[in-house]
Chains A and B, each alone.
Chain A
């Protein structure tokens, strides 16, 4: 009986030691499962990393000494603008305005989630002119560095709504020619709302902004100047695949898009001719005098904001002459 007891005790002790071995080892090294990653929410980059990237990209663009160098750092609408500017520099001899990049730029928003394309919305302030620029930077894949997708110049007295915590991320949407996004309609509405001379009544966007007022004033001045010698018309057409938007959880949105503005002056029978005095327009159209009509197309960079429940508002605008022709 004693022997049996001893054998049982020894077996129990050996089993206890053997079974507790793993537990003892785990408690000594504090072994735990590897933490899991939440890939569904939040911005893909830390704020400091986004600031570093934005400073690098914008700094490189500012430091580029040739159009070719800049083109390497740009994509989409920004590249289109650069190409146009390079062409106009050749025509007029004027150089593109230098981009002033404070260090670090202010990050306004980042796209959420781990998918690509990823985007950063950043702002820079030129302290000498107090002009604020808003930039969209986009990375199209894991092995593609961020490039400057768009830059818009803020209108005086405007501001960007807070898009929540940057680290929480915002919904980033980019339209294609075939697939518009929610912001695409805003640009279409805005274009219709500032059409001259017969603007459409629009409700989703406000057309009371300095840019729209300036357009209306200038167009009216031309109408007054021409009198019955000609008719002035102005339309705005969105470039579908340039529109991108950042939308916060509360519905606030910042959207960038390009539109083509077409200014058409049709001379009446009473007009003999129209002299083209602008040198750039002369070179673009190849004409100094037209007798029937003159059409100028300009590329417009627009930045629009929308606060939930209120009509969208234009807060950034910049234009560059695209082409001109006449007869």
Chain B
């Protein structure tokens, strides 16, 4: 029974170790030595894309938001306080980044509003507003948080990609550590699972002998008597 438990524990350790190894290696490969976790999405065309404090200010890890379009397309990034952005967007249609999907390295979005999309040029409530051709990069600014970023392109153009990259070099080493720890645990588990059953020692044999001898004595159970029936003497079995 002890051997079965030991092997079971070994198998569990092997599986847990392999899981750690795979997950760690997967993260290390995806993050790279810079420890850059990049999540991307292709935003829906024709509506502003909104990145609010629920995604751009949830961690103090440095963040870079990148919006890409064709080279000659002006990409405008308008930044406002959350209440201003909410008042400005009102019931107009827009796409909001809601979070991340780590398995897919993707940004999750939702589409809100029913009225026609609104152009940021129609307002004067921006903390900053920058337009660049092709690609716009917006560093996360936790000191100014909370802020809502509204990314727009002209009506006849669309964003090809929106990316949010959090960079922490420690993540790469943490992923490596996980992979190595997993490998170690798997090896230990393997050793535990494959370790041969220990051979009975002499002292143990003596005990068996004594017990069997006791079973053969008068007053022993019927089952014990039956077991002993036809059994070779203990000393011989040991030889």
Interface-located stretch among A143-151, A184-192, A223-231? A143-151
Q: CA of A28 to CA of B174 in the docked complex: distance in angstroms?
A: 9
Q: When the two chains form their complex, are residues A145 and B123 in contact, meaning their CB atoms are under 8 A apart?
A: yes
Task: List, in ascending order, chain A residues with CB within 8 A of B1's CB.
Answer: 3
Residue of A nearest to B1 (CB): A3
Q: Cβ of A282 < 8 Å from any Cβ of B? A: no
Known: A30-B60, A32-B59, A32-B60. A37 touches B5 (CB 8 A): no
Known: A45-B127, A114-B84. A35 touches B146 (CB 8 A): yes
- Partner of A45 from the list B118, B125, B145 (CB cut-off 8 Å) is B125
Residue of A nearest to B148 (CB): A37
Q: When the two chains form their complex, are residues B124 and A34 in contact, meaning their CB atoms are under 8 A apart?
A: no
Interface string of A121-160 (1 = CB under 8 A from B): 0000000000000000001001111100000000000000
Q: Cβ of B67 < 8 Å from any Cβ of A? A: no
Known: A49-B128, A144-B123, A145-B122. A37 touches B83 (CB 8 A): yes
- Tell me the B9-67 residues at the A interface (CB within 8 Å): 9, 53-54, 57-61
Q: Cβ of B82 < 8 Å from any Cβ of A? A: yes
Q: CA of A59 to CA of B82 in the docked complex: distance in angstroms?
A: 29
Residue of A nearest to B175 (CB): A28
Task: List, in ascending order, chain B residues with CB within 8 A of A48's CB.
Answer: 128
- Partner of B123 from the list A6, A37, A143 (CB cut-off 8 Å) is A143
Q: CA of A114 to CA of B87 in the docked complex: distance in angstroms?
A: 10
Q: Cβ of B131 < 8 Å from any Cβ of A? A: no
Q: When the two chains form their complex, are residues A30 and B59 in contact, meaning their CB atoms are under 8 A apart?
A: yes
Task: List, in ascending order, chain B residues with CB within 8 A of A143's CB.
Answer: 88, 90, 118, 122-123
- Partner of A49 from the list B82, B90, B127, B146 (CB cut-off 8 Å) is B127
Q: Cβ of B171 < 8 Å from any Cβ of A? A: yes
Residue of A nearest to B59 (CB): A30
Q: How far is the CB of B162 from chain A (nearest CB, A)?
A: 19
Task: List, in ascending order, chain A residues with CB within 8 A of B171's CB.
Answer: 28
Q: Cβ of B126 < 8 Å from any Cβ of A? A: yes
Q: Cβ of A288 < 8 Å from any Cβ of B? A: no
Q: When the two chains form their complex, are residues A31 and B59 in contact, meaning their CB atoms are under 8 A apart?
A: yes
Q: Cβ of A53 < 8 Å from any Cβ of B? A: yes
Majority secondary structure, A binding face:
loop
Task: List, in ascending order, chain B residues with CB within 8 A of A139's CB.
Answer: 124-125
- Interface range, B side: 20 to 34
Q: CA of A33 to CA of B59 in the docked complex: distance in angstroms?
A: 8
Task: List, in ascending order, chain A residues with CB within 8 A of B118's CB.
Answer: 143
Please give the number of chain A residues whose Cβ is less than 8 angstroms from any Cβ of chain B in the complex. 28
Q: How far is the CB of B144 from chain A (nearest CB, A)?
A: 9
- Tell me the B160-203 residues at the A interface (CB within 8 Å): 166, 171, 174
Q: Cβ of A44 < 8 Å from any Cβ of B? A: yes
Interface string of B113-141 (1 = CB under 8 A from A): 00000100011111110000000000000
With contacts defined as CB atoms under 8 Å apart, how many contacts are there between chain A and chain B in the complex? 73
Q: When the two chains form their complex, are residues A44 and B59 in contact, meaning their CB atoms are under 8 A apart?
A: no
Q: Cβ of A36 < 8 Å from any Cβ of B? A: yes
- Partner of A36 from the list B60, B126, B142, B146 (CB cut-off 8 Å) is B146
Task: List, in ascending order, chain A residues with CB within 8 A of B81's CB.
Answer: 37, 39, 44, 114
- Partner of B87 from the list A46, A49, A142 (CB cut-off 8 Å) is A142
Q: How far is the CB of B52 from chain A (nearest CB, A)?
A: 8
Task: List, in ascending order, chain A residues with CB within 8 A of B53's CB.
Answer: 34-35
Q: When the two chains form their complex, are residues B54 and A44 in contact, meaning their CB atoms are under 8 A apart?
A: no
Task: List, in ascending order, chain A residues with CB within 8 A of B125's CB.
Answer: 44-45, 118, 139, 142
Interface string of A40-61 (1 = CB under 8 A from B): 0000111011000100000000
Q: Cβ of A98 < 8 Å from any Cβ of B? A: no
Q: CA of A39 to CA of B84 in the docked complex: distance in angstroms?
A: 10
Known: A35-B53, A35-B57, A44-B81. A146 touches B146 (CB 8 A): no
Residue of A nearest to B81 (CB): A37
Residue of A nearest to B123 (CB): A143
Q: CA of A44 to CA of B87 in the docked complex: distance in angstroms?
A: 13
Task: List, in ascending order, chain B residues with CB within 8 A of A146's CB.
Answer: 124
Residue of B nearest to A139 (CB): B124
Task: List, in ascending order, chain B residues with CB within 8 A of A10's CB.
Answer: 9
Q: When the two chains form their complex, are residues B59 and A39 in contact, meaning their CB atoms are under 8 A apart?
A: no
Task: List, in ascending order, chain B residues with CB within 8 A of A31's CB.
Answer: 58-59
Task: List, in ascending order, chain A residues with CB within 8 A of B90's CB.
Answer: 142-143
Q: How far is the CB of A212 from chain B (nearest CB, A)?
A: 37
Q: When the two chains form their complex, are residues A35 and B145 in contact, meaning their CB atoms are under 8 A apart?
A: yes
Q: How far is the CB of B89 from chain A (nearest CB, A)?
A: 9
**Chain A residues with a Cβ under 8 A of chain B:** 3, 6, 10, 28-37, 39, 44-46, 48-49, 53, 114, 118, 139, 142-146
A–B pairs, 26, beta carbons within 8 Å:
A28-B171, A29-B59, A30-B59, A30-B60, A30-B61, A31-B58, A31-B59, A32-B60, A34-B54, A34-B58, A34-B145, A35-B57, A35-B142, A35-B145, A37-B82, A37-B146, A45-B125, A46-B127, A46-B128, A114-B81, A114-B84, A142-B84, A142-B87, A144-B122, A145-B123, A146-B124
